């Protein structure tokens, strides 16, 4: 079950969201907490957002920050929602050397929540594959696309 807590976290653009562990546990589901705050990874093929094909925006499940446009989503075949570029300044990258690998972790720039990793085997024009956990995001359908 997803908890609805996003409306409570309306803050100005560019501001940071900082909460302690207890506060995050109150606003996130167990799955969301595991990924966003504890660097977890969801099971492949487990996210409903994997096959989300509508026009819209993928937002951070932790703080509501817009992260990815549906226009930059593609089928990577990995089993995780994949994008070739994030929205500008929506995310930050951090070197991740866990599991004896050197990877680039992608975090939400506003709340610091773990979203996934980026790999250099994506499609043109960026050649990047942003491999995201669907449980770390929510989808907002573009209202104009419904008409």
| Residues at the contact surface with Zn ion, assessed by CB under 5 A | 60, 62-63, 65, 108, 110-111, 113
Q: Report the nearest approach of Zn ion to the CB of residue 90 (Å).
A: 9
User: Nearer Cβ to Zn ion, position 2 or 51?
Assistant: 2
Q: Report the nearest approach of Zn ion to the CB of residue 93 (Å).
A: 15
Q: Report the nearest approach of Zn ion to the CB of residue 100 (Å).
A: 28
Q: How far is CA 12 from the centre of its chain?
A: 19
Q: Report the nearest approach of Zn ion to the CB of residue 79 (Å).
A: 23
Residue 128, token pair as written in the block: 């990047």
Exactly one of 60, 63, 131, 141 is catalytic; name it.
131
CB 80 within 8 A of CB 42: yes
User: Nearer Cβ to Zn ion, position 65 or 76?
Assistant: 65
DSSP track, 44-103? TT--GGGG--SSEEEEETTT--EEEEGGGEE--SSSS-EES-PPTTTEEEEEE-GGG--E
State the DSSP H helix or E strand holding residue 24, giving kind and residue range, or none if neither.
Answer: helix 21-27
Residue 126 three-state SS: coil
User: Nearer Cβ to Zn ion, position 56 or 62?
Assistant: 62
Nearest to 8 by CA among 73, 62, 54, 76: 62
User: Nearer Cβ to Zn ion, position 73 or 110?
Assistant: 110
Please indicate whether residue 131 is annotated as part of the active site. yes
Query: What are the catalytic residues?
Result: 131
């Amino acid at each position: 079950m997803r908890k609805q807590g996003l409306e409570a976290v309306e803050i100005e653009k560019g501001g940071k969201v900082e909460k302690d562990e207890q506060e995050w546990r109150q606003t996130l589901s167990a799955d969301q907490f595991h990924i966003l705050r504890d660097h977890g990874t969801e099971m492949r093929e487990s996210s409903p957002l994997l096959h989300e094909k509508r026009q819209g925006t993928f937002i951070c499940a932790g703080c509501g920050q817009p992260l990815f446009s549906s226009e930059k989503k593609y089928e990577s075949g990995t089993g995780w929602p994949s994008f070739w570029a994030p929205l500008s300044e929506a995310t930050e990258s951090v070197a991740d050397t866990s599991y004896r690998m050197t990877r680039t972790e992608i975090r939400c720039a506003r709340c610091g929540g773990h979203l996934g990793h980026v790999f250099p085997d994506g499609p043109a024009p960026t050649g990047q594959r942003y491999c995201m956990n669907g449980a770390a995001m929510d989808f907002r359908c573009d209202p104009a696309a419904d008409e």
